Amino acid sequence: MKIRYLYSTLVKPKLELTLAILKPDISSNPLAVEAVRDIVLKNGFYFIRTKHVKLNRDQAGEFYKEHKGKFFYERLVSFMSSGPINLHVLSKENAIYDWRQLMGPTKVYKAQHEAPESLRARFGLTDTRNACHGSDSSVSALKEIEFFFEDFDVNKWYNEQEHVFRNGNEIVFNEEKLEHEIMQRKLRAFY
């Protein structure tokens, strides 16, 4: 029993990945994007990948196809294809839950009353224009990350980089790329 306890205190749990989208209503305002990025950083998330895109209607429809037939589907697809969006693969321990807590309730009015410091309470306009999106499970996170970041190999990241990010000592935030990176070690030649 003591050995198991000691082991669990020495080894940090694996980091989790989630997809975060800053919707067109917030992405069109550089000051809001910067404010959200600062909030995300202050809450201990790593930005693993970042991308800025403008979806066409077909892409937005494909991403939100699980909602097809619901009353808000057309409005959501139109909105999500109306302007650029910011996409981020975020990581930290419990990333999915923590990102969803940081976003707040889907409905802006509810967010303003129940979670006034949340992103949706602070930056959301309506239930469709609610500032951000986040994966709701590890299965959807993987699917959503793959949808937008087809060149990002999740398994490779877990095998080669996750342990370095989990340790955190060799990670720096690249302000230009808006991504965290592993510091390049400089090897000194000994003569």
What is the β-pairing status of strands 171-174 and 179-182? antiparallel
Please say if 180 is a catalytic residue.
Answer: no
Alpha-carbon distance values, 167 to 14, 92, 117 (Å): 10, 11, 29
List 113, 133, 163, 180, catalytic entry:
133
Task: Compute the distance between CA of residue 45 and CA of residue 134 in angstroms, rounded to an integer.
Answer: 13
Name which of 130, 136, 131 is nearest 95 in CA terms. Answer: 136
Q: Which backbone phi and psi does 95 adopt, to 5 degrees?
A: -60, -40
Residues serving a catalytic function are: 133
